[in-house]
Structure formats: C-alpha cells, structure tokens
Amino acid sequence: MSEVLQKPLITEKLTRLQEEGKYAFKVDKYATKADIKQAVLDRYPEVEVKKVNTMIMPSKPKGRFTASGYVEGRAKVWKKAIVTLKEGEIDFFSEI
C-alpha cells in the first residue's frame, strides 16, 4: 500500500469543520479506518483521534476544449477521510 495520508483537504466547508475538531484528508483508496487513525497519530503525535469517517468519492465526467476539439474523460475514484479529534489541533500550514 502506498502512503496512507496523501494530502490534507482544505476547502471552505472543511475549514468550518476544523472549528469542531474535524480534519479531512485524501487517503489511499485501500486504507482502512485503523490504518488512517494510525497514520494520523504517526504524523501528528500531539493529537488524539476520537473517530474516523471515510467515503469513496465517485468518478466524475470531465472535459475541455482544445485546438483539436473537445476532449472527454473521467476523474479518478478516490477516498476521503474525516478525522475527529478528542483533543489537540492540526496546523496544515506549518508543514509547508
């Protein structure tokens, strides 16, 4: 299995959830909730994970206009995890 936590997700809605202690990550499609919890604890040792929710994000049709005409395709299927913390806070911007 590749790296479990691929990247944090930062959107307007997910930023509001951070105030409640919930953080979202794009994760490996085959990672289990236990794998995700352990990966969060390994990367952020100062936090305590309360719960992990996962969801498979479906493929979406994508397309664009190019010089040779319209090109159709589909986005990949990916997995999102929402991690609820008991205590502690994750600062995504200090990692950059």
Beta carbons within 10 angstroms of residue 69's beta carbon: 6
* CA 87/CA 49 separation, integer angstroms: 8
- Residues linked to residue 7 through DSSP beta bridges, in sequence order: 26
Average pLDDT over residues 8-33: 94
The answer on pLDDT for 90 being more than 70 is yes
pLDDT (0 to 100) of residue 22: 94
Q: What percent of the chain has pLDDT over 90?
A: 78
Q: Between the CA atoms of 75, 53, 30 and 57, what dihedral angle is there, to the nearest 10 degrees?
A: -10
Q: What is the mean pLDDT of the chain?
A: 91
Beta carbons within 10 angstroms of residue 77's beta carbon: 11
pLDDT (0 to 100) of residue 76: 95
Q: Hey, what CATH topology would domain 5-87 get?
A: Alpha-Beta Plaits (3.30.70)
Under the banding of pLDDT at 50, 70 and 90, the label for residue 95 is low
The answer on pLDDT for 83 being more than 80 is yes
CB neighbours of 94 closer than 8 A, spacing ≥ 6?
Answer: none
Under DSSP, the state recorded for 85 is E
